[in-house]
Structure 1
Amino acid sequence: MTSSASRPGSPPVPPATAPATPPGTRLNSLTGLRWVAALAVFLNHLTTLLPLPHTDAVFALGASGVTFFFVLSGFVLTWTYLEGDRAGAFYGRRFARIWPVLAVGALLPLLLQLPGVPDGETDRAVLMAVSAVLLFQAWVPSWILGGTSPVTWSLACEAFFYALFPFIAKATLRRSLRWLAGAAVVLVLIGWGIKVWLWEAYPPQARPSFTGMDGLIFGVYSPIARVWEFLLGVVAAAAVRKGWRSPLGTGAATGVLAAGLLVLWLLRDETWRAFVVYDALGQVTAPLYALVVVAVAQRDLSGRSSWLSTRPMVFLGEWSYAFYLLHFTVLFEIASAVFDRKSLIEFYMVPVEASWSNAGWALLALVITTALCALLYRFYERPLELWLRVRIGRRNAPRVESTGLEPQRNPV
C-alpha cells in the first residue's frame, strides 16, 4: 500500500487502489513503447546477420521483445474490451489488424530468398510460408523456426491467444483484485514449470544437438508454452481497470527490469543461457514487463507527459508491427549481399565474424526498414485495416462516452 500524499514539489503518488477506470482511454505511451521492443528484436537479429564486437550478450536480450509483445497484447486487448462485444466482431478486428501485414511479411521474404533455397527444399519453404500466412506455423514443431522469415511463428501464437480471449475476458474482469493477484502468481509459476520440465526432459548441454528435439522446440515457441505471458497481460489490465495501482512508478519499474536484464547478462555463459531453446529469458522478463506496462499506463492515466507519447514515438509505434515482420528480411538481404551467402542456414552454420564495419550496414537496414514500414502503414496497412474493420469488425457494444476517444488498437 502506498499513500497518495507526496512531498512538496514532487509528482503525486497514485494510491494502491483508485476508482475503476473506464475502458478505451488512450494510452499513447504504450504505442511508443512498442517501438522500443521492436528495436530490441532488431538488435537481437544483428547478432546473427551483422554482428558487432562485444555486443552479442547484450543484444541477445532483445529476444525478450517477443515476450513483451505477448504481455502487451493481453494488456491492451483487456484494456479496450467492452461488455457485450461479439466474438465474431472481435475476431474480425484481429484479422484486420494482423493479417494484411502478415501476408506481406511471410510472402515477400519467400519471393526474395527462394532462389537461394537449397535444392529439394523449395516445396518445404513454400509450405512453411503458407503455414505462416494461415496462422498455424507454430503448431508444427519442425516449422516454427524454419522458412525464410523466422519471426512469423509469434503471429500463430497471437492467433491462438485471440481465439481464447472472448471466452476469458469477461470472466477475468469480474474477478476480485485478490483473485487477480493470485492468478498472476500462478501464471508466473506455470511459466517456470514449463521451463523446468523442459530442462528435465532435455538436459542442457554445452553443445546441444538440434535434431530430434521437436518436443523442446514446441515447448519453447508454441502457443501452449507462451499463452501464460499473454494471460499475465490480461490479468494486469483487469487489475488496473478495477482500480489497482502499482506502487512502482515508471522509473522504479524500469530499474527493476534493468536489474533483471543485468542478472541475465551476468549469467550469460551459463549452459542454460547459452542457447535460446534453454533460456529462461521469458520467465524472468514477463512479470517485469508487466510491471513496466502497468507503470507506463498509470502515468498516462494520471495525465503526465512522457517521451514515449510524443508524436514521433507514436508514429514509430504505429509502424512497429510492420517493422517487426519485415526487419529480418531487410537485414538478411543486406547481409546476404555483403557476405555473399544465399540462404539463412549459411549464417547459422558458419557464423559471421563480428566487425564494426557491420555497423554501417546495420544502420542502413534500420533506415530502410523504418522507411518501408512508414510507407506500408500509410498506403496499405492502415487503409486496408480500416476497410476490413468496417465490414467484419464492427462493435455492437456501446461507446464509452466518458473518454471521448476511440478505443486503442491492439499492437500485435
Structure 2
Amino acid sequence: MQPAPTLPTKPHYPILDGLRGVAALMVVAFHLFEAHATSHQDQLINHGYLAVDFFFLLSGFVIGYAYDDRWNRMSVGSFFRRRLVRLQPMVVFGTVVGALLYYFQVSALWPAIGQTPVWKVLLLTVLGSLMLPAPLALDIRGWQETYPLNGPGWSLMYEYVANILYAVLVRKFSKLALGVLVALAAAALLHLLLTRPEGDIVGGWSPELGQVRIGLIRVMYPFFAGLLLFRTVKPGRVNHAFGWSSLLVVAVLAMPRLGGLGRPWVNGLYESLSIILVFPLIVLLGASGELIAPYTRKLCKFLGAISYPLYITHYPLIYSYTAWVYDHKVTLRDGLPVAALTFFSALALAYAALKLYDEPVRAWLQKKLVAASAVPGSPQPGVAGP
C-alpha cells in the first residue's frame, strides 16, 4: 500500500506570531501594574485587558488559514484532537503551578487560604486542568473566578467555545452568512460598551450569568471577524509591518482611560473602535509584511513560541505579587524592582515550561492522538492565549 502523498506545508505568518508575543508581554505588565491601581481610572497600561480580544481575532484569522481548506480531508474529531493537543498541556501546567503557589501562600488578601482543605485545592486542580468551570461554591479567593487557581483560564474556555462553533457550524457558512454573524456580533459588542456603566469590556472571568454574557460577546465578534478577514481580504505588501503593527498594539493597550467617571461611554466607544476596526487592521497589516532581517525573524519566532506559555502561566506569579503589595502596602515606585523580578520570572517560567514540558508533551500527544488522522502539510495554528 502506497503512503498518501505529502502536501506542501503552509507557511506561517511570522509577524502574527510576533504580535501575539508583544500582546502577551503587555498583559503581564498590565497585571503587575493592576496590583497598584485603585480603579481602572488610574491603571497603567490602562487597556491591557483588550489583549484578550486581540488574541481572539488573531485566533480566528489563523484558524481559518490553517483549516478552512482541509475539511474534505479532516473530520471534526480530528480538528478537536489537534486543538486539545495544542492547548491543553499548558492549561494543566498553569493550573498545577497555580495550585502549588496558592497552597503554600499566606496573605491577608485571601484569609481563607489557611482554611482551605487539601481536597478542595485538588478538586479545583482537576476542574481547571479539564477546563471545567468551578462553581461559585468553590470560590476560594472571593474574586468569583471561573478558574480561581489560574484566572486567565477563562479566556481559553471561550477559545474552546469558538473553536467548537467553528468546527460544528460556522465553517460551513458562506461569506454572506458569516458577514451577517459578524455584523450581529459587532452590534452586540457596541451595545454592551456604549450602555455599560463601567464603560469597558472587562468581564467574562466569572461563572456568574452576567459575566458569561460578557465573555460570549467578547469572543463572538473578534474570533469570527478574524475568520471573515481571512476569507475576504487578501494581504498586500507592507514594509516594516512588524514594527508598525507592534507599535499599534502597544498604543491601543497603553491608551489612558478616556471620558473619566462622568462619561463612561467615551471609553466604551474607544474600545469598540479598537476591537471592531483597529484590531482587524493590525492583523491585516501583520499578515501583509515580510521579515527580512534575521534578528527580526528570530525575535518573532521567540515571541510566538513564548506567547501562549507566558499568558497561561504568569498569573499565579501575579497572585503572589499582588498579595505582597497588599500585605506590605507597597507603592508602585517602591515595588518596581520586585515587579521587574516577577516579570522576568514569568518569562523564565514560560520558556522553561515550553522547552521542558509543552513541546515534549505535545510531540508525544501528536503521535498518539493526531498522527493517525493527520492532514498532510497542516500547520500548527496559534492560539488566543490570552
- For the 8 Å contact 2:325–2:331, the answer to whether it is kept is no
133-142 or 59-68, which deviates more: 133-142
2:191 matched to 1:193?
yes
Are residues 379 and 258 of structure 1, via their aligned partners in 2, closer, same or farther at CA, if it must alter by over 3 Å?
closer
Distance (Å, rounded) in 2 between the aligned partners of 1:336 and 1:180: 45
Distance (Å, rounded) in 1 between the aligned partners of 2:240 and 2:179: 19
309-318 or 27-36, which deviates more: 309-318
In the alignment, which residue of structure 2 is the partner of 1:30?
A: 16
Give 1:410's aligned amino acid: G
Decide which of 88, 107, 129 is 1:133's aligned counterpart: 129
Q: Which runs of 5+ in 1 are unaligned?
A: 1-21, 206-211, 342-351, 401-405
Query: Secondary structure at 2:227's aligned position in 1?
Result: helix
Decide which of 83, 108, 118 is 2:97's aligned counterpart: 108
Decide which of 299, 303, 311 is 1:324's aligned counterpart: 311
Distance (Å, rounded) in 1 between the aligned partners of 2:216 and 2:134: 7
2:284 matched to 1:291?
no
Are residues 150 and 270 of structure 1, via their aligned partners in 2, closer, same or farther at CA, if it must alter by over 3 Å?
farther
Distance (Å, rounded) in 2 between the aligned partners of 1:167 and 1:289: 26
Return the offset for 1:132: 2.4
Are residues 73 and 23 of structure 1, via their aligned partners in 2, closer, same or farther at CA, if it must alter by over 3 Å?
farther
2:353 matched to 1:372?
no
Give 1:36's aligned amino acid: V
- For the 8 Å contact 1:50–1:354, the answer to whether it is kept is yes
2:81 matched to 1:92?
yes
- For the 8 Å contact 2:245–2:282, the answer to whether it is kept is yes
Q: Per-residue CA shift, 1:207-253, capped at 9, x if unaligned?
A: xxxxx993432222x3465222211111112224xx46599994887
- For the 8 Å contact 1:89–1:395, the answer to whether it is kept is no
Return the offset for 1:188: 1.5
Query: Secondary structure at 2:342's aligned position in 1?
Result: helix
Distance (Å, rounded) in 1 between the aligned partners of 2:22 and 2:136: 30
- For the 8 Å contact 1:249–1:295, the answer to whether it is kept is no
Distance (Å, rounded) in 2 between the aligned partners of 1:355 and 1:263: 19
65-74 or 244-253, which deviates more: 244-253
375-384 or 259-268, which deviates more: 259-268
183-192 or 379-388, which deviates more: 183-192
Distance (Å, rounded) in 1 between the aligned partners of 2:42 and 2:372: 45
Decide which of 44, 49, 71 is 1:83's aligned counterpart: 71
2:333 matched to 1:359?
no
Are residues 257 and 265 of structure 1, via their aligned partners in 2, closer, same or farther at CA, if it must alter by over 3 Å?
farther
List aligned pairs for 1:3-402, cutoff 5 A.
24-49=10-35, 56-81=42-67, 82-84=70-72, 85-115=74-104, 116=106, 118-119=111-112, 121-122=116-117, 127-137=123-133, 143-144=144-145, 147-168=148-169, 170-172=171-173, 175-176=174-175, 183-195=181-193, 199=196, 203=197, 214-220=208-214, 222-223=215-216, 225-240=218-233, 243=234, 250=241, 265-270=257-262, 272=264, 283-287=272-276, 288-300=278-290, 305=292, 309-337=296-324, 340=327, 352=329, 354-394=331-371, 396=373, 399=376
Q: Per-residue CA shift, 1:295-324, capped at 9, x if unaligned?
A: 101214xxx537995213311320111111
Query: Secondary structure at 2:47's aligned position in 1?
Result: helix
- For the 8 Å contact 2:158–2:219, the answer to whether it is kept is yes
Report the TM-score when normalising by structure 1: 0.71
Distance (Å, rounded) in 2 between the aligned partners of 1:114 and 1:398: 43
Are residues 269 and 226 of structure 1, via their aligned partners in 2, closer, same or farther at CA, if it must alter by over 3 Å?
same
Query: Secondary structure at 1:265's aligned position in 2?
Result: coil
Distance (Å, rounded) in 2 between the aligned partners of 1:363 and 1:381: 25
Give 1:44's aligned amino acid: F
- For the 8 Å contact 1:83–1:397, the answer to whether it is kept is no
- For the 8 Å contact 1:67–1:282, the answer to whether it is kept is no
Are residues 378 and 248 of structure 1, via their aligned partners in 2, closer, same or farther at CA, if it must alter by over 3 Å?
closer
Distance (Å, rounded) in 1 between the aligned partners of 2:335 and 2:229: 40
357-366 or 390-399, which deviates more: 390-399
Query: Secondary structure at 2:184's aligned position in 1?
Result: helix
Query: Secondary structure at 2:82's aligned position in 1?
Result: helix
Return the offset for 1:187: 2.8
In the alignment, which residue of structure 2 is the partner of 1:5?
A: none
- For the 8 Å contact 2:59–2:223, the answer to whether it is kept is yes
Distance (Å, rounded) in 1 between the aligned partners of 2:355 and 2:341: 21
Q: Per-residue CA shift, 1:265-301, capped at 9, x if unaligned?
A: 3335456379xxx96776343222122112101214x
Distance (Å, rounded) in 2 between the aligned partners of 1:179 and 1:306: 41
Distance (Å, rounded) in 2 between the aligned partners of 1:139 and 1:234: 32
Distance (Å, rounded) in 2 between the aligned partners of 1:308 and 1:109: 34
- For the 8 Å contact 2:135–2:207, the answer to whether it is kept is no
Count residues with an aligned counterpart.
Answer: 353
Q: CA RMSD in A?
A: 4.0
Return the offset for 1:71: 1.1
Are residues 219 and 159 of structure 1, via their aligned partners in 2, closer, same or farther at CA, if it must alter by over 3 Å?
same
Are residues 146 and 388 of structure 1, via their aligned partners in 2, closer, same or farther at CA, if it must alter by over 3 Å?
closer
Distance (Å, rounded) in 2 between the aligned partners of 1:306 and 1:297: 17
